[in-house]
Structure 1
């Protein structure tokens, strides 16, 4: 998991995220973009092991799906070509969408698209994806909510004044 980009120190969160968030999220999103994959099952089989076969999202092979599925994914794919001010906030211990494979990648995508002036990327030390998992590791994790509140105030000021300044 560490080699895949998950932050060191987030190990206590891996199981909880998989069981309560990632499996569910991937099935719901896949159902929206590729409803024919599992037929009438609607959002597949929860937590099915690899090798289960048809309808199991663990065995999903996007490359083999029909062209209309690829077009549906293209319509929602990130490009970095933002048109409005955006503040992205991510915890350094996010074990659902690790910064190295999600937030960092999107920040580079925005920069490559020439839109860096419209984007601010904030990494919150000790933050995770959701504050509800803080009890899993109270020594390392810190709430993200205060950072969200500050960023929202900053975004309000940024859009009202037309220039990027920190709220405070």
Structure 2
């Protein structure tokens, strides 16, 4: 397998991706997809996203945190803290696993030029929240190569579609 940098996120019909630093919905099937896709790989997120997760590293994944705060530290051997995009790219080149860019908004924007693939979940509903996917994202360079629809059910209150994109 060739390693790659992959953007992975879920958004509602309005482009909402967060509320108070957490997901504004509960879709266990979508979270299971996220887990199955990212397990054994590396996750990149901003400090705000990591703080919103209760500063908890997800099992069987290494978490990379990008922050401007030079004093920010995490006492966990599954968490690495970086202060520049270049430091992350240098680290990425020296290892052999995928890097999943999971958010938030600023991190997705900064890593947009480096993404090899996108896995985006479109939730077919609208929620309340305060963080939206970057409007400036350039979708013209992406080609959708897969789409997988998941109907709502007892545990998942909204339909959603997982779409995979590659650079044209």
* Structure 2 length-normalised TM: 0.31
Q: Which has the higher helix share?
A: 1
* Structure 1 length-normalised TM: 0.31
CA radius of gyration, larger in: 1
Q: Which has the higher strand share?
A: 2
